[in-house]
Structure 1
Amino acid sequence: MSRRFGRYGFAIGILVVLLIANLLMNPTRFMPGNWGTLLGLAAPLIGAALASTPVILAGRGGIDISVGPVMGLVSAVVIKVLYLDSGIASPYILWPAALLLGAAIGAFNGFMATVVRVQPIVATLGTYLILGGLTLTILPAPIGPAPDWLKAMAGAWSFLPLGIIAALWWALCRTPFHGQLMAVGSDDRAAYTAGVPVTLVRFLAYVLTGLLAGAAGMMLTALIGSADPKVGANYTLIAIAAVALGGVSLAGGRGGLLGAAIGAVDIFLLQSLLTAFNVSTYVLQVAYGTILVVAVVLIALQDRSAKRSHA
């Protein structure tokens, strides 16, 4: 347990500093009565970070850069195709449709990366471009509104989808699949020798990433209250930075969704703080890049130190 939370130490330290700074700069915004709204604002980034994590944990360079475009396509399909064009407003249809669409895209990425054995970043780059064009074809310009129940998930009910994801991940961590996922990410040859179905585990990690990206797309739709074909892609690289900041090793096999969520909250608080100072978006990009580099270096040093202590 202490080793696990040791990986989160850097992210937790930044979280405390940024939270104090935000409270000093804008205490009203962070009053308890506004926590639901704040969580709704942060939810798409947290969701994107959670979605990016399973394939990274699976190792072999499994970085899925199509997570953002999946969010954008899900938003476009749910609002334009299902809600406005087809008149379907039930959450019992729209939520499963979003999750199934995300899982199907994840399965395609998984097939390309694990069966065809295309380099993951190349396979998901192709998906990134395909989904971007498809989303613009379906929805050339922003359109709305979203159903009222969905918009409520950016306010008082913002905790619900993230809470469900947390509960499902908690349950998954108590199944053999989680141990197999971490084993494959740490050393796939040793895992294969031990009888772990390496290809299947990695494939399922891509499906899980797609499923969570579908959920993140619904969180994004709730936040903006409509569908915008250009917003989703903005989350791709920021989510990867959040995952690295949260102590998840980009080499695979170490970390988890809790760390990714903490990293995403850190970036959200950084955005909030810099916005309060009227800092330009260009400076935000510099901040994201710096965070990513520093986090990756610290994790690499930590992993190296751990290997020496076991030697």
Structure 2
Amino acid sequence: MNAILPENYPQLVWGTLPRPVAGPGQLLVRVRAAGINRADLVQAAGHYPPPPGESTVLGLEIAGEVVAVGDGADGFAVGDAVFGLVPGGGYAEYCVLDALLAVRKPEALDWFEAASLPEVWMTVWLNLVELGELQAGQRLLVHAGASGIGAAAIQLGKRLGADVVVTIGSKEKADWCTALGADRAINYREQDFVAEVKAGGGADLILDTVGGDYLGRDQLCLNRDGRIIVIGLLRGKAAELNLGLLLVKRQRVQGSALRSQPLAVKAKLANALATQLLPDIIAGRLKPSLDRVFDIADVRAAHAYVADNRNQGKVVLRLA
């Protein structure tokens, strides 16, 4: 099969690799589309390796047709249209998908919309619902509100009945986020987000995709019993915490990564995507927020587009 060759990162060369085989409980999928995530950019730069034993090819989410069914992968057949989360291997013509993580693609979604869903929606469900325990009437602060994660977090936060505040870097992105449902968009280039959030009543949960020096500033925004969940390190992995605030305001700081979660946790999240979120996406109450589709031949341009923060929502690769 053709794939982006792992030994050539970060050049992103399209070449030939052996086709994978569906093992027990797995599906072999002919990939039609693959989502791009910042984790792909980090891995291509030599960081964030896949879990031991998994494909070293980039790509954490796919959509395509089942071409082979492994033993015990009950409920699926050759020809089924599916999408789902993978630990790696998405930037290729064929990819193995665990049947527990496979979601049937409804006709209402095209391949690109389907491929844009697993990583962001499973991530926000994990961090807002399972870990963040976001409740109606609370205030959610989301950094990088115009990213794929940000777009999903805005919508899920509003669905849960929260007041949603985002940080963004332009008026265009601010308008886009408010159109998605954000109650307020703070331009971090022009405003002090700490002062703005505190003036608005503080935050109960912060989804931090940025890390670095933002962590200490996040602490200043939190109300009592507030939670910070760090899922990204755009500003670096070193941070300083105010332990006095941590104790007095009973703050909770937690790191979270989807890729390293056990299969059972990912399966639970895939089920939430299929049963709790997908019906609302099909009905139009939640939006996939697909920004652009690039051909796999233009993968370097696609990565540059994401690296430069030009996207508003998800970026997806077309493979067939």
Q: TM-score, normalised by structure 1?
A: 0.24
TM-score by length of 2: 0.24
Greater fraction of residues in helix: 1
Q: Which of 1 and 2 has higher RCO (CA within 8 Å, sep 6+)?
A: 1
More strand by share: 2
